[in-house]
A and B are shown apart, each in its own frame.
Chain A
Amino acid sequence: MTSITENAAPVHRSSRDEVVAFVIMALALAVVPFTGIYPYFVMQALCFALFACAFNLLIGYGGLLSFGHAMFLGTAGYVTAHALKVWGVEPEFGILLGVAASVVLAVITGLIGIRRQGIYFSMITLALSQLLYFIYLQTPFTHGEDGIQGVPQGKLFGIFNLAQPITLYYTVLIVFLLAFLLIFRIINSPFGEVLKSIRENEPRAVSLGYKTDQYKLMAYVLSGGLAGLAGSMKIFVAQNASLTDVHWSMSGEVVLMTLVGGLGTIFGPVVGAFVIIAMQQYLAQFGQWVTVIQGVIFVVCVLTFRRGVIGEIAHYFKRSL
């Protein structure tokens, strides 16, 4: 059986390549406000890039395909938006509450979902996120179809005014880069190595004495918490929380982003997120054709392009990226 991440398994591990790539990425993103590129678009893409990286942590390194990851994005978003708007908390506490909520959610849903593997795990996470979707549709604090609108951005640590586009941009960028480094660190830690061994051959890991369920749950919670961070950051950019972020089509989108960029590659999800968000931005006038195009990309990726953009590049140069 060919594992879903087999194609992306690193050929030559070289942390130098990865560091160089990271510096290039950080510099390119840092100069965005001085180019003509629309910063709002980049901020949005960064939030989704973080979301996709968090998702990839689970599938790319744990081999678990969650089809309900939108529940973390949406939950953290609702909690942060509610905390900022109704309770009037500072931005840093809003983010903290959002991430905490998604971590709690991840622990609960993880304990349920981890009990089944493979396709069943995907279906369970999908069903759980749909359960949450209906709950958010009905509970008063989310305002149903209207969502929470006009969320104030506030001052981060009482100093940085997030209502200023440039301050907001660099805040989002720094949060993204720090989270990216954290994911990088997790992957390269002993924990990450165990995770990869579970992905490759779970029975072997069990026979070596690892409590694989605990590792998988930990990966799931980390992934959920980081996806929550993406959801919280997204509130400052979009200034509203809506049902779109919890709907299962959002869970499909993050799978698509990761698949396009390269499952199990470090930079793949970032590239994938930018590609998909750019596509949605520039093809918006074609209405439902965007869905069709996304479907076609899905099909093409699965049939012929399983490594994704970064995966192909890494494979060509025999490097891990």
Chain B
Amino acid sequence: MQALYAQLLVGLINGSFYALLSLGLAVIFGMLNIINFAHGALYMMGAFVAYFFLEYAGIGYWWSLLLAPIVVGLFGVILERTMLQWLSGLDHLYGLLLTFGMALIIQGLFQNYFGSSGLPYAIPDLLKGGVNLGFMYLPIYRGWVVIFSLIVCIATWYLIERTRLGANLRAATENPTLVRAFGINVPRMITLTYGLGVGLAALAGVLSAPINQVRPLMGADLIIVVFAVVVIGGMGSIMGSIITGFALGVVEGMTKYFYPEASNTVVFVLMVLVLLVKPTGLTGRAH
């Protein structure tokens, strides 16, 4: 039973990362109509920025949690302004290809300087240790990751679905020309949205740094699982991304307990099954 709970927890943690990443992808897709292939690389950058902060500036985990997403988000803003911007009006596939190229560049550069092995990042003092819940031992940091990402996800959902800014954003997604006519600066909004989505990826990177090591390729394989998560969820809604993300993490964790051989593939198998029954994905609208 202990092992089952442990896998459930691992599943929830992975689910947190899936949710944060697919949430960012959904936000970016909504505004830019681009599947951000560089998302995994930017997630990795988030972890590396936290590592640099600690090693070279003595900035600890808590400040990194705030600053690293801002730094990487600004980097995202630059990418959008200098490159992605020029693709509006072209086939969506060009966005995929461009961000794929950016991912290769970013990952390649980090691999050149840091090799492929991992760098350690210590758990902050406040979150060290664990508590015995009676039925299982819960490392505090892991519990923190799940709760914190849940809070961030809900906050993002609230921002987009329940505030005036979010309403403008959704309106601009539906009809940019009309929203522009109301005097809203749509291009700036697009840029900031990209920054926000990238920031979410970087935040996931900082969260994962103490659990997984900081590696140049940490986002490369993760992103493909997240794509499968996105296909399953359908990217129709913000809430859909969050729920699908967590749920698939748990399913994966359970598989690791009951049939470990399939744990790498279960998300993809689920994707196939969902597509056969409902090609638009679980919460999807047709795009």
Contacts and interface: CB of A to CB of B under 8 A. Distances in A.
B57 interface: no
Given A126-B224, A288-B108, A131 B265 contact: yes
A299 B261 contact: no
Contacts of B97: 255, 259, 298, 301-302
The secondary structure that dominates the B interface is helix
Nearest to A114: B279
Interface stretch (B137-145, B147-155, B227-235): B227-235
B107 interface: yes
Interface residues on B, range: 35 or more
Contact of A295 (B104, B275, B287): B104
B7 to A, nearest CB: 18
B233 to A, nearest CB: 12
Contacts of A69: none
Contacts of A128: 268, 272
A289 B108 CA distance: 6
B98 A134 contact: no
Interface string A275-298: 000000000000111111011111
Contacts, number: 128
Nearest to A113: B275
A41 interface: no
A126 B98 contact: no
A64 to B, nearest CB: 10
Given A122-B96, A126-B224, A295 B268 contact: no
Interface stretch (B13-21, B83-91, B193-201, B238-246): B83-91
B185 interface: no
Given A118-B92, A126-B224, A131-B269, A292 B275 contact: no
B94 A306 contact: yes
B132 interface: no
B112 A287 contact: yes
A189 interface: no
A120 B287 contact: yes
B159 interface: no
Nearest to B234: A120
6 contacts: A2-B91, A126-B227, A130-B228, A131-B265, A288-B112, A292-B104
Interface of A: 1-4, 6, 65, 67, 112, 115-116, 118-120, 122-124, 126-128, 130-131, 134-135, 137-138, 248, 252, 255, 259, 287-292, 294-299, 301-303, 306
The 6 closest A-B pairs by CB, nearest first: A298-B101, A295-B104, A291-B108, A295-B105, A131-B268, A292-B108
Interface of B: 35, 83, 86-87, 89-94, 96-98, 100-109, 111-112, 221, 224-225, 227-228, 230-231, 261, 264-265, 268-269, 271-272, 275-276, 279-280, 287
Given A252-B100, A289-B108, 16 more contacts: A1-B91, A112-B275, A115-B275, A122-B93, A123-B230, A124-B275, A127-B231, A130-B221, A130-B225, A290-B108, A291-B107, A292-B109, A296-B101, A298-B104, A301-B101, A303-B98
